[in-house]
Amino acid sequence: MTKGEKVVKKAFEYLGVKEAPYGSNRGKDIDRWEARWGMQGQPWCGMFTDAMFAEANVDDAGINHPATSQICVNGKKYKWDGRTTIPAGSLWVNCGVHVALIVKDNGDGTVWCIEGNTSSNKKGSQRNGGEVCKQLRAYKKNKKNVMISIVGFGRPKFGGAALKKSDESTKPNKTVKKPKTCPECGQDIK
């Protein structure tokens, strides 16, 4: 099992965890994840990914942070350009908005993720929804018509082989409206 797979395995243990009460950014497990950063009652997607690395006893090389904009800054040293292969345990990030763990790249422009603080209901908030859920997300145009919501990927250097470049076809489809740029890290945001 790779280090990234260990992180994903740990995250699966928390599928279905929900805020209590809903909308509070609180709960037994959530409070514990937030306490690692001296916080309580705050949006927690970044604290969830951080805690999964810690609980799996896998060094995240300092990438995780409560603020997704800081995850973008931290990840720049690992060339989070959206054109790398996407192994399990990688993070996808929408700078300043949301972060999640990659479970599996489906090879069709979509990935399965485990996310903290999202909603299992597509009509619910996808970035502050109060649950740990498995989600299907897209990084390029796809036959499943899943909305493109991922602007970058990255992972800590776990040791061993460096990230491999794939072909240019993994860039977002040109018909997608160009999002704004994060002032802190220069990454595109929605």
| Average pLDDT value over all residues in the chain | 80
Q: CA-to-CA distance for 71 and 95, rounded, in angstroms?
A: 8
Total domains in the fold of the chain: 1
Work out the average pLDDT over 133-144: 93
Range of the domain at 48: 3-189
Work out the average pLDDT over 29-42: 96
Question: Predicted confidence band at 95 (pLDDT cuts at 50, 70, 90)?
Answer: confident
Tell me how crowded residue 40 is: count the other CB atoms within 10 A of its CB: 13
Q: Is 139 within 8 Å of 82 (Cβ atoms)?
A: yes
Work out the average pLDDT over 65-89: 74
Residues in Cβ contact with 55 at an 8 Å cutoff, skipping those fewer than 6 apart:
10
> Which of residues 39 and 156 earns the better pLDDT score?
39
Q: What is the pLDDT of residues 96-119, one digit of tens each?
A: 899 999 999 998 989 999 999 998
